[in-house]
Chains A and B, each alone.
Chain A
Amino acid sequence: MSTLQQLNDELAAVASGVQRSLVRIVSGGSGVGAGAVWHSDGLIVTNAHVVGRGHGLQVRLADGRTLPARVLAHSQDRDLAALAVDAAQLPAIPLGRSRALKPGDFVMALGYPWGIANGATGGIVIGVGKDFPELPHLAYDGVVANLRLRPGHSGGPLVDFQGRLVGVNMLMNGPEIGVAIAVDVVKEFLRETLGSPVPETIV
């Protein structure tokens, strides 16, 4: 098998691994976003802007079940929300560390771009942090990547080459540039709002 074929197989494996923890979030008929299962007991992380006011919130799991969800915590500043659904033994996404990411590292984003299920886009890390002159409103660490986020990717996972969560997709800065909230910020958000220790899935 050629190196390129092996690369293709590995990319597909990363995508299908992440898809198990990917959820679709529908908020009061106002549109579609994505989220990721943070913990197997039903804790889901997404963007605050996907959740909106939180009315009529529904989460569709990778196994096909659609469940009502309630908002446990949210932060407009960080554009993050934590949701709970009444389910157990969900496949939680393995967690990475955004501080360990370097420019050039491979990343993949998943979500529901334009409503398309499991839409994946790949690229590399442009930079990590909040020191981006062209993103003056970035108050918390972000992962800026050379990939194509679209409406519906919001709240979905940004993962590294091993499928570990390194960010939560937040916005596009032009057609070829995606910005995610760094996973280290998400951990801090959950610690602050849900208390310590934050349930993390150890892999």
Chain B
Amino acid sequence: MSDVLKSLSSDLAAVVETASASLVRIEARRRTPASGIAWSSDGVLVTSHHVVERDEGIRIGLPDGSTAEATLVGRDPTTDIAVLRTQASGLAAPHWLTLDEIKVGHLVLAVGRPSREPQATLGIVSALEESWRTAAGGVIDAYLQTDVIMYPGFSGGPLVGAGGGFAGMNTSALLRGVSVTLPAATIKRVVETLLAHGRVRRGFLGVSAQPARLPEALAQAIGQETGLLIASVEAVSPAEAGGLFLGDTLVALDGQPVRHMDDLMALLTGDRVGKSVTVAIVRGGEQIERTVVIGERA
């Protein structure tokens, strides 16, 4: 009697207990503390950018109940990831799952440590789709959505699979009303960049713009229906130095088509910072080219 239910119950509790060895409390904001994950056993921690409201005086709560100091290594608001470092020892780095180990329908736990003891909620994987871009322009390697409840303070904590592997880091700040998880590949990329440079570089042009339909003849000639109508050009910006004006319609950057704001965001990557790139614009009904040196967004 009750064999499966008993095993299920004790397996879930065991998964939480195992996960908690890599789980810390992050005290870096005024309201409820949040959660963080040991990235490596030498003291590198990952958490959500939005729960780290201050750059100094950050404290963490460890699995054994003690607290320690942590310093901010860097943060990437576009993916909502922050990296901290602590001198505290005794944290275990988790095993991270690859995306092909995660299936829609799998049971998963969201685990957090907003107080001393670990806490957990249960759900299933709702969707696993291709990469997506956040409103702030960050690239997330896969769209991983679950129906786990994000209990207060769960941001920065792991989504844990039935075998105890970490499927990613949960955040409630990137999308409203759904629980999304950042996959391990995205965290790894951002952590390595932040450890090396202290920040994730993003390109900067210095314009505000909105999508606009191109005249039909031009649309056919260029092979795209829309471009970005420049609504303003910031003073002393790469766009101004490169000779872009209000009223120009941006149609390509560095040889790649620009149809929507998303296209431009995707092209303003860190590796283009400081480089001269060709910008194609429509001015007075004709397509012309200018050269712009991409700046770095502060």
Asked if A133 and B2 make an inter-chain contact with CB atoms under 8 angstroms apart, the answer reads no
Q: Judge whether A199 is part of the interface by a CB distance below 8 angstroms.
A: no
Partner of A6 from B4, B32, B114, B115 at Cβ < 8 Å: B4
Asked if A103 and B119 make an inter-chain contact with CB atoms under 8 angstroms apart, the answer reads yes
Interface centre among A13, A124, A129, A131 (most CB of B within 10 A): A124
Q: A104-B12, A104-B13, A104-B14 are in contact. Are A129 and B149 (CB under 8 A)?
A: no
Asked if A11 and B5 make an inter-chain contact with CB atoms under 8 angstroms apart, the answer reads yes
Chain A neighbourhood of B109, CB < 8 A: 104, 124
- Smallest Cβ distance from A165 to chain B, in angstroms? 16
Interface residues of B in 93-136 (CB under 8 A from A): 109, 111, 114-122
* A9: nearest chain-B partner, CB-CB: B4
Interface residues of A in 75-90 (CB under 8 A from B): none
Q: A123-B122, A124-B121, A177-B151 are in contact. Are A162 and B2 (CB under 8 A)?
A: yes
**How far is A176 from B115 in the complex, measured between Cα atoms in Å?**
20
* B9: nearest chain-A partner, CB-CB: A106
Asked if B153 and A126 make an inter-chain contact with CB atoms under 8 angstroms apart, the answer reads no
**How far is A125 from B2 in the complex, measured between Cα atoms in Å?**
18
Q: Judge whether B3 is part of the interface by a CB distance below 8 angstroms.
A: yes
**How far is A103 from B121 in the complex, measured between Cα atoms in Å?**
8
- Smallest Cβ distance from A167 to chain B, in angstroms? 15
* B160: nearest chain-A partner, CB-CB: A104
Asked if A131 and B5 make an inter-chain contact with CB atoms under 8 angstroms apart, the answer reads no
Q: A124-B120, A124-B122 are in contact. Are A133 and B14 (CB under 8 A)?
A: no
Asked if B152 and A106 make an inter-chain contact with CB atoms under 8 angstroms apart, the answer reads no
Q: A127-B119, A131-B115, A134-B32 are in contact. Are A104 and B16 (CB under 8 A)?
A: yes
- A-to-B contact residues, CB < 8 Å: 3, 6-7, 10-11, 13-14, 102-106, 123-129, 131-134, 144, 146, 160-162, 176-177
- B-to-A contact residues, CB < 8 Å: 1-6, 8-10, 12-17, 31-33, 109, 111, 114-122, 149, 151-153
10 residue pairs of the A-B complex, CB under 8 angstroms, read A10-B4, A10-B5, A103-B111, A124-B9, A124-B121, A125-B120, A126-B120, A126-B121, A133-B153, A162-B2
**18 extra interchain contacts, Cβ-Cβ under 8 A, other than A6-B3, A10-B3, A131-B115?**
A13-B2, A102-B17, A103-B117, A104-B12, A104-B14, A106-B8, A124-B9, A126-B151, A127-B118, A133-B153, A146-B120, A146-B121, A160-B9, A161-B5, A161-B9, A162-B2, A176-B121, A176-B149
